[in-house]
Amino acid sequence: MSTTQNYEALKQTIEAMEEKQVLTPDMPVDVFNQEAEDLYQVALVDKEQLMARGLSEETIELLPQAAGACRYAEAEWNKERNEKQEAEREWKEKSPDAYELRSDLIHELEFAFVENSDLLSAVDRIKDGNGHADMIQDLVDLSVLGKEQTELLQQTNFDATLLDQAETTADEMSELLARANGTKDENNKAKVLRDKAYTYLKGIVDEVRRYGKFIFRKDDEHAAKYASAYGRTH
């Protein structure tokens, strides 16, 4: 089965897990998934002995399936994180121009409205505030105000295309900021599902390891096959 098929097969069980049961991985999930796959190969060799002491065949056979589901969930979480990081990079690249456009429009409108105190007050209200979201809203507000006063702006040979550019830039930067902000990691749906898939797999891994360590407790070399290699070195 593919990782997608593994996840779909266990999706209902994984998603139904109560939040209080969910664990945060204490080791790289890709490493843990591989250890689960390796453990399955060991358990296959010792299958009869494990089952003789009460470990079900179903539990053994769930190992690769649960590992595949966890691998799929980890990939989905990584994909979302990568998209967020790309949006953050793009925001850093494009936001200086957006801020500069806002500044240019403010100066242009103040220059054109110099003899109209009401319009200058309107520009002052738009200038008030700070932050990325405020900058985006300012672009829209400046565009609307400018389009309402085209005659005054024409008198200063203002480039009217900047008003449309401001509106377009606001739309683009708003969408980009939303992707860059994303959802806080602790509330991210993809991360929650990844953690649930990890928790589900860990329960199976722990059970198989418990049986293996017990059965082969007098054979250190064999018992070591049921321990985490990552845990030994970290």
For 90-106, the pLDDT digits (tens) are 999 999 999 999 999 99
Could you give the CA distance from residue 40 to residue 11 in angstroms, rounded to a whole number? Answer: 21
221 in the same domain as 207: yes
Burial class (CB in 10 A: 0-12, 13-18, 19+), 38: middle
Looking at the structure, tell me whether residues 110 and 66 fall in a common domain: no
* Tally of domains within the chain: 2
Under DSSP, is residue 217 helix (H, G, I), strand (E, B) or coil?
coil
Regarding whether 98 and 178 lie in a shared domain, the answer is yes
Residues 129 and 198 in one domain: no
- What pLDDT score was predicted for residue 183? 58
- Measure the CA–CA gap between 12 and 195, rounded to whole angstroms: 15
Claim to verify: residue 125 and residue 202 sit in the same structural domain? no
pLDDT tens digits along 156-189: 999 999 999 999 999 999 999 988 887 555 558 8
Same domain, residue pair 167 and 204: no
Report residues of the chain scoring pLDDT below 50.
none
As a residue count, the chain comes to 234
Residues 136 and 167 in one domain: yes
Q: How many CB atoms lie within 10 A of CB 32?
A: 22
CA distance 112 to 107: 9
Other CB atoms within a 10 A radius of the CB of residue 161 amount to 8
pLDDT number for residue 179: 86
Domain boundary among 147, 166, 185: 185
Do 103 and 27 lie in a common domain? no
Residue whose entry in the numeric block shows the structure tokens 């589900």: 200
Position 142 scores a pLDDT of: 97
* Same domain (yes/no): 107, 179: yes
Among residues 231, 203, 211, which one has the least CA distance to residue 42? Answer: 211
pLDDT for 231 equals 86
Domain match, 178 and 147 both: yes
Run of H or E residues at 86: helix 57-112
Q: Which of 185, 201, 225 is the last residue of a domain?
A: 185
136 with 74, same domain: the answer is no
Say if residue 206 is in the same domain as residue 221: yes
Q: Whole domain around residue 145: which residue ranges?
A: 93-185
